[in-house]
A and B are shown apart, each in its own frame.
Chain A
């Protein structure tokens, strides 16, 4: 087999674990969109006293890496507390599958982001969230770190694609060390917008190519 996937990933793809829905879920989240060709939905059942994840199921619209990372995430968090689950990183999920090709790392990020959104959803429903804090530049940078450089399989901040981030009066400008006609320019720009658009005090996002 010369496909760019490991054995474990293909096993999860062929026979995903915990696929489906939980009808009376305590929390639920969907991340991604048909525009990106990647969607993951996670359903959680959480023990109210111990905050342990009793059950988790996923649905996926996406490629093999998308299905496999969602599947492996469900294995990783079942039985864990929500705090333990929050600590799981996209790197951990990818490693668990025996690695992912660099261009597919964003799938692992999507699975982990969906998990965190589902947990946030649980915390909101159960009054575990404190007041909303105003967004800082560092928080924006943290979010942008969820966008992958598809060549390197690492995030765009670490790999130097992000030149600067300016945040003033609800308007974010992200400057990228990238040519506008770079093969990944459109994709990276869309992903940045997707990461930032849900932050409550961000009203406008502008991605600029400086090269």
Chain B
């Protein structure tokens, strides 16, 4: 997400400072976009950054920050001009998560895990040279990032891997008729439909990539990839849940608890994953918002 923003909008010094750590995987980043009152309506964000000499003083609260508890750095959307129109007074800041005044509070999710966080910013001092692009022009970076995030969320490769995983589960599972589930007509039909949907998504994504190679980066059409990609991911979690039968019911107390799976190993995380992946049609701009974007930006409605 942040890599393309830095190499597209950053100064040579910023590129030099931040990109190598991203490339090597040594520096982990998290996203400070959503706020309790600004989810789908991202531009209504309230986190405030006030310029004082060569620093900004940042105050506010971000939420749904994925893996923020493990991140070294975060990229944040902050309001630098409260008098301007919502989209026009926003800046894009990079913040060291170890800065004084940054507090991270993990949020427990339906699967029992802690994947996202509230991030509280209290008088956090951020050097002005950690701002990417111009002051009050952060929305440009924000939208650019979102287009890449949406295209990335499509997750074709991961879904292809999960289709293979589902097939191997269906080979091991015995259906109610006593035959392997993979031989069941109903199951086969559902699996085939899913594979066909996935090939449509993959081909559409390849077309987007081809355009990006030609210098026409992802635009509003990346919303299509986000919607279809997350629908397929969620469908996969449903089919996997169906495939493991009643051994979806035992709920492990948490990964890493050193307990044997109750049923087959492959069944133990299936229900938590099903519940957890409801997030996919919500994050990165809910799928309703993505449809609004296509309606407005692509179809001109």
The answer to whether A and B assemble together is no
Binding site for B on A (CB under 8 A): none
